[in-house]
Amino acid sequence: MDLFTLMLAIPLISGLLLTVVGERAWAPNLNIIASLGTFLASALLTYEIVATGPRMAFGEQFFIDSLNVFLVTLTAFVGLTTSIFSGPYMRNEYEHGRLSVPRLRLYKSMFQLFMFTMLVALTTNNLGILWVTMEAATLTTVLLVSLYRTAASLEAAWKYFILCGVGIAQALFGTILLYFAAERVLGESGNSLLWTHLVQVKGQLEPTIMVLSFIFLLVGYGTKVGLAPLHNWLPDAHAEGPTPVSAVLSGLLLNVALYAILRCKVLADGAIPDNFAGNLMMGFGLLTLATAAFALSRQKDIKRMFAYSSIEHMGIITFAFGMGGPVANFAGLLHMTMHSLTKSAIFFAVGHATQKAGTQLIEDIRGLIRINPVIGWGLMLGTLAILGMPPFGVFASEFMILTNAMKYYAWATPILLVSLGVAFAAIFGKVQPMVFGETHARPLPHAPAITPVFVHLALVLMLGLYIPPYLTNWFHQAAKMMG
């Protein structure tokens, strides 16, 4: 079987299988094995693409190039580590009586289906299908966010559904307008929504329509990215859902939504003069960054705080892609990778920490370094990494973004610096006592899975110190594609 088909088939089939067979002793392992299979398939696929160049699959319906294959690998990798992490984590939740058996089954099947929708969204060539899978991803995660069925989690899920539903409807309107613009050039063939066809005629697309279309697409998918002012769903969903879900929402869903915007930006750039799309993205990016940075210091819930940190980083990445050009795009891609890895690692560590403390309130979690030094150090290092301390990879990407901004958009530098400073002070000030304070907590019934935390952090550290040449090449290819 073709590698690509395999990669899509594994999560779909295992998702359905997990629904049918229900919760068994081996179900968590099946979850891990499926994720491992997906990851291996995607890794081999990446190898193939980097060696032989872009390819199509299923006629022209799917399209894989260096930009999305990199995200596919990242998605599959974080999916794998999350499934490893969630095994003991979910069992602990079960022992604590927060989850019942049917919920565990729901979690696993929805997790695999969510992975499937993400992978399809990343690889589809059809912008309509992209929309459909983004909506499907919302639907699968809504059930995951409300998994605990507490009042707060239902509220979070409701907000998530309604806000993202509204946002995604705007994106559909944008897609319709895009199709309209494309149909004038490409005619009434079924190809007018295929990205590979669109990109060839992007210069001929009608600018008036494209302006409106891009605004709707940016606002629509931007809601899912968590761009201000429509970011309100994000902290709630992250704080109230189970931690593995927070990890994949932050590490994957936001990336995929941003990827959708990037694909549309390439088209908009071709049609609209004066870097209109880029300016719009820069504006939204800065607004998001500033909003999130100043909200950070007011947080009392640890998961909520890191959710705001995700919003902040999405702002930075959006700003970077808005600047455009090879350096900024490269930095944006690097930052996307770093953020995914670091943030999911942090959520893993936070998950264990909150389970141990029995609460998500920052002031009630103290002295992690004494109860469990591994988790304590994991959280501390992850926090340092996400705050952009050298030698972690986030430092490299943030540094590149900053220097590029100073060079071409000097006016934005103060906003960037102030926001980053405020965010640093807020997060570090809150995490430090959590790790080093006094405590009296009990041990957990199931030993936590710590490996994923350190695998992620090691990768981030490695990429901060040394980026392998083939990875650089690959990023360069992808950055060039975005123009």
Q: Phi, psi at residue 63, to the nearest 5°? A: -145, 130
Q: Which of 179, 259, 306, 348 binds another protein (CB under 8 A)?
A: 179
> At CA 333, angle to CA 329 and CA 336, rounded to 5?
135
User: Residue 158 interacts with another protein (CB under 8 A)?
Assistant: yes
Q: Which of 53, 102, 190, 203 binds another protein (CB under 8 A)?
A: 190
Residues 207-266 that bind another protein (CB under 8 A): 208-209, 212, 235-236, 239-240
Min CB(400)–another protein separation in Å: 31
Is-contact 361 430, C-beta < 8 A? Answer: no
E strands in 13-168: 55-57, 62-64
Element (H, E) at 314: helix 302-323
User: Residue 135 interacts with another protein (CB under 8 A)?
Assistant: yes
Q: Which two tokens stand for residue 438?
A: 């006094």
Q: Phi, psi at residue 124, to the nearest 5°? A: -70, 150
User: Residue 200 interacts with another protein (CB under 8 A)?
Assistant: no
Q: Which of 1, 20, 25, 151 binds another protein (CB under 8 A)?
A: 151
Per the rule left: phi > 0, alpha: psi between -120 and 50, beta: everything else, 461 is alpha
Nearer to another protein, 166 or 481 (CB): 166
User: Residue 132 interacts with another protein (CB under 8 A)?
Assistant: yes
Distance of CA 456 to the CA centre of its chain: 15
Distances (CA, A) of 8 to 16, 19, 398: 13, 17, 33
Task: Determine the size of the site formed for another protein (CB under 8 A).
Answer: 52
C-alpha count within 13 angstroms, C-beta hemisphere, residue 402: 15
The span from the CA of 75 to the CA of 257, in Å, is 13
Assign 3-state DSSP to the chain and report helix, strand, coil percentages, each to 5.
80, 0, 15
User: Residue 193 interacts with another protein (CB under 8 A)?
Assistant: yes
Bond into 391 cis (ω within 30): yes
Residues in the chain: 483
Q: Which of 36, 55, 128, 476 binds another protein (CB under 8 A)?
A: 128
Q: Which of 5, 29, 100, 150 binds another protein (CB under 8 A)?
A: 150
In the stretch 303-342, what mask flags binding to another protein with x, by CB under 8 A? -x--------------------------------------
Segment contacting another protein (CB under 8 A): 174-182, 357-365, 431-439, 442-450? 174-182
In the stretch 54-93, what mask flags binding to another protein with x, by CB under 8 A? ----------------------------------------
Q: Which candidate, 117, 228, 106, places its Cα nearest to that of 157?
A: 106
E strands in 69-214: none
Nearer to another protein, 68 or 126 (CB): 126
Q: Which of 149, 417, 466, 473 binds another protein (CB under 8 A)?
A: 149
Number of H helices, E strands in the chain: 20, 2
Min CB(151)–another protein separation in Å: 5
In the stretch 268-307, what mask flags binding to another protein with x, by CB under 8 A? ---------------------------x--xxx---x---
Distances (CA, A) of 385 to 334, 348, 377: 14, 14, 12
User: Residue 267 interacts with another protein (CB under 8 A)?
Assistant: no
Q: Which of 30, 36, 154, 471 binds another protein (CB under 8 A)?
A: 154
Residues that bind another protein (CB under 8 A): 126, 128-129, 131-132, 135-136, 139, 142-143, 146, 149-152, 154-159, 161-162, 165-166, 169, 172-173, 175-177, 179-180, 183-184, 188, 190, 192-193, 206, 208-209, 212, 235-236, 239-240, 295, 298-300, 304
